[in-house]
Amino acid sequence: MDEIDSRILRLIQEGFPLTTRPYAEIGRHVGCSEDEAFRRILTMKRNGLIRRIGGSFDSRRLGYVTTLVGMRVPEKDIERAAAFVSSFSEVTHNYQREDAVSIWFTLVCSSQRRLQEIITEIERNFPEAQILDLPAKRIFKLRVHFDPSEP
């Protein structure tokens, strides 16, 4: 990653330009062409430096119900359980931890009823699993920016 990539990363963390030609705007700010800005961002995404570019919405204000779910699953079932959980479009994140509660995922559902249906279906398919349903009581939104020049 060179200085231009670092500048691009800093810029898009602050806010992706909402214009008809966002890559031209990014290029203008960092001193490269629109095509080069697009190519650099695509390369950083392919290389795993950028996981996602997209909007972040307050799901509660939009009328959705959310929860964090922890799942204690026997080691032999982790892959199958993770694939099953990921099959629900309401799952936004799904990751494994090296701990007793080995799978963690977030659910964003249109209703409390739908959220409970998904949890019940997971319990039905993995009866030996222990499910922790951890809805947020209060949300603390932190603004985090990473300095790409620091290791």
pTM over 0.85, yes/no: no
Cα distance between residue 87 and residue 131, in whole Å:
17
For residue 151, the model assigns a pLDDT of 59
Phi and psi at residue 92, to the nearest 5°? -100, -30
Cα distance between residue 11 and residue 53, in whole Å:
12
Q: What is the 3-state secondary structure (H, E, C) of the chain?
A: CCHHHHHHHHHHHHCCCCCCCHHHHHHHHHCCCHHHHHHHHHHHHHCCCCCCCCCCCCCCCCCCEEEEEEEECCHHHHHHHHHHHHCCCCEEEEEECCCCCCEEEEEEECCHHHHHHHHHHHHHHCCCCEEEEECCCCCCCCCCCCCCCCC
Burial degree of 69 (CB within 10 A; 0-12, 13-18, 19+): buried
For residue 32, the model assigns a pLDDT of 97
Phi and psi at residue 67, to the nearest 5°? -160, 155
For residue 145, the model assigns a pLDDT of 67
Asked: is 65-134 a CATH 3.30.420.40 domain? The reply is no
Per-domain residue ranges of the chain: 3-46, 65-134
Express each pLDDT in 82-130 by its tens digit. Answer: 999 999 999 988 998 888 899 999 999 999 999 999 999 999 999 999 9
Asked: is 3-46 a CATH 3.90.1070 domain? The reply is no
Identify the residue with better confidence: 138 or 67.
Answer: 67
Burial degree of 112 (CB within 10 A; 0-12, 13-18, 19+): exposed
Express each pLDDT in 32-91 by its tens digit. Answer: 999 999 999 999 999 988 888 887 778 888 999 999 999 999 989 999 999 999 999 999
